[in-house]
Amino acid sequence: MSDCIYKNGLNFECQRCSFCCGHSPGFVYLSHRDLTALCTHFDMSEVDFARKYCRWADYYYGTQVLALLEKDNYDCILWGAGCTAYEARPVQCSTYPFWSWMLADNKTWNECAADCPGMNKGRKWSFEEIDAQKRRYDANIPLDRRDFEKMFCEGKEFRL
User: What b-and-e string marks burial along 95-134, b requiring 16 or more CB atoms within 10 Å of the CB?
Assistant: bbbbbeebbeeeeebeebbeebebbeeeeebeeebbbebb
13 HSE (CA, 13 A, CB side) = 4
Whole-number pLDDT of residue 19: 85
Residue 1 has pLDDT above 80, yes or no: no
Q: Quick one: residue 9, left, alpha or beta (phi over 0 = left, psi -120 to 50 = alpha)?
A: left
Whole-number pLDDT of residue 141: 94
Note the residue count of the chain. Answer: 160
15 found inside a domain: yes
In whole angstroms, give the CA distance from residue 94 to residue 26.
16
Against a cut of 0.95, is the pTM above it?
no
Q: Write out the residue range of the structural domain in which residue 28 sits.
A: 10-152
Count of Cβ atoms closer than 10 Å to residue 153 Cβ = 13
Q: Checking DSSP bridges between strand 64-68 and strand 54-58, what pairing results, if any?
A: antiparallel
pLDDT digits (tens, 9 = 90+) for 64-114: 999 999 999 999 999 988 899 999 999 999 999 999 999 999 999 999 999
95 found inside a domain: yes
64 found inside a domain: yes
- Tell me if the bond preceding 117 is cis, omega within 30° of 0: no
3 found inside a domain: no
CA-based max dimension of the chain: 50
In whole angstroms, give the CA distance from residue 100 to residue 131.
9
Whole-number pLDDT of residue 2: 57
Domains identified in the chain, total number: 1
Query: Does residue 37 contact residue 136 with C-beta atoms inside 8 Å?
Result: no
